[in-house]
């Protein structure tokens, strides 16, 4: 079976079309979802060097939850895209809010030290 194009990131742009949602079976029962990875990467738009970050996503679902494989592929699409840290966190937040329409959501990126400086950028309230 030939894989569909939708299953793979393009690596030259952020592929938000990769994100998929699944129905949340316990609508009305608030739960806290926390997704973490230490393997997030994007590129510095000025130097082209990779930026590595720990990513944390926390949300309270309303009617759907994010399908984790699709989230992984979506996050990998940032790998070859040049973006400043503040734009990355806002991009992830915007795409997840549009897909999930959660009751609450919080996205945090802790970028590793490069040039002696580390950066933590977050968006949302939790």
Domains of the chain: residue spans and CATH: 21-125 (3.30.1130.10)
Give percent above pLDDT 70 in the chain: 91
* pLDDT for the residue numbered 65: 98
Contact 91, 101 (CB under 8 A): no
* Catalytic residue IDs: 44, 51
Contacts 24+ apart (CB under 8 A), 30-33: 30/60, 30/103, 31/60, 31/61, 32/58, 32/59, 32/60, 33/57, 33/58, 33/59, 33/60, 33/61, 33/65, 33/66
pLDDT band at 1 (very low <50, low <70, confident <90, very high): very low
The pLDDT assigned to 4 comes to 54
Judged against a pLDDT cut of 80, whether residue 80 lies above it is answered with yes
What does the pLDDT average to over 79-83? 93
C-alpha 120/C-alpha 111 separation (Å) is 6
pLDDT range class, residue 12, cuts 50, 70, 90:
confident
Kindly report the pTM of this predicted structure: 0.89
Is pLDDT above 50 for 66? yes
pLDDT band per the 50, 70, 90 thresholds, residue 17: very high
pLDDT 10s digits, 94-115: 999 999 999 999 999 999 998 8
**Please, which pLDDT band fits residue 126 given cuts at 50, 70 and 90?**
confident
């Amino acid at each position: 079976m030939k894989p569909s194009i939708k299953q793979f990131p393009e690596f030259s742009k952020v592929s938000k079309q990769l994100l998929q949602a699944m129905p949340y079976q316990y609508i009305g029962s608030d739960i806290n979802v926390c997704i973490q990875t230490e393997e997030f990467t994007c590129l510095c738009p000025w130097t082209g060097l990779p930026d590595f970050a720990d990513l944390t996503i926390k949300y309270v679902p309303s009617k759907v939850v994010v399908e984790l494989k699709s989230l992984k592929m979506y996050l990998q699409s940032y790998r070859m895209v040049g973006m400043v840290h503040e734009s990355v966190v806002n991009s992830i937040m915007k795409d997840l809010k549009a897909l999930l329409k959660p009751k609450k959501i919080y996205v945090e990126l802790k970028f590793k030290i490069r040039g002696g400086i580390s950066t933590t950028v977050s968006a949302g309230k939790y």
